[in-house]
């Protein structure tokens, strides 16, 4: 078993528990065995337990230890963390999940209509193939 995701300065992680659940943050320093200092362009620098973090594959390379907020913001944008996250499979899955959770009844109706439409097209083609074979 090889470890691919490391706790390091510049590692982007997702908070998976607590009031800030779902937020992307950057590990900016390690306090001790259980806690890290995390930071994000729109939050105050805080400590968090590693148990509340899910490490991602995204890192900000060459990030100095506990950088000033300006430096962090710039490095965050230069490394295109948000874009990389939105393009990653994990990020896309989470986006779909949040979208589904935020649908109104009308949206769900629209989804149902679209699904029915799509499946009717598919079944029509399938019927043609079946009749063609038979």
Partner 1 sequence: MKLWATNEVRAKSKFWYFLRKLQKVKKAHGQLLAINEIFEKYPTTIKNYGIWVRYQSRTGYHNMYKEYRDLTLNGAVEQMYDEMASRHRVRFPCIQIIKTATIPVSLCKRVNTKQFHNSKIKFPLTTRKIRPPSRSLKTTYKASRPNTFV
| Beta carbon nearer to partner 1, 7 or 103 | 7
Strands 53-59 and 11-15: antiparallel
Find out whether 37 and 46 touch, Cβ atoms under 8 Å. Answer: yes
- Residue of the chain from 43, 49, 51, 111 that contacts partner 1 (CB under 8 A): 51
Binding characters for partner 1, 103-132, by CB under 8 A (x = yes): ------------------------------
Which are the contacts of 76, defined by CB distance < 8 A and separation ≥ 6? Answer: 26, 40, 41, 60
| Beta carbon nearer to partner 1, 8 or 78 | 8
Residue 87 CB, nearest approach to partner 1 (Å): 22
Give me the sheet containing 35-40, strands edge to edge: 43-49, 35-40, 24-30, 11-15, 53-59
- Residue of the chain from 43, 49, 66, 86 that contacts partner 1 (CB under 8 A): 66
Can residue 42 be called a binding residue for partner 1 (CB under 8 A)?
no
**Region near partner 1 per CB under 8 A, out of 23-31, 74-82, 84-92, 108-116:** 23-31
Can residue 3 be called a binding residue for partner 1 (CB under 8 A)?
yes
CA distance 134 to 77: 59
């Amino acid at each position: 078993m090889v470890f691919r995701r490391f706790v390091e300065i510049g590692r982007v992680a997702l908070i998976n528990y607590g009031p800030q659940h779902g937020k992307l943050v950057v590990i900016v320093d390690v306090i001790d065995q259980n806690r890290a200092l995390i930071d994000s362009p729109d939050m105050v620098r805080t400590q968090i337990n590693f148990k509340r973090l899910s490490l991602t594959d995204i890192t900000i390379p060459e990030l100095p230890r506990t950088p000033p907020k300006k430096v962090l913001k710039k490095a965050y944008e230069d490394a295109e963390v948000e874009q990389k996250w939105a393009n990653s499979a994990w990020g896309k899955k989470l986006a779909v999940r949040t979208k589904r959770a935020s649908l109104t009844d009308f949206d769900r109706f629209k989804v149902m209509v679209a699904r029915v439409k799509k499946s009717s097209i598919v079944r029509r083609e399938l019927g043609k193939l079946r009749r063609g074979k038979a």
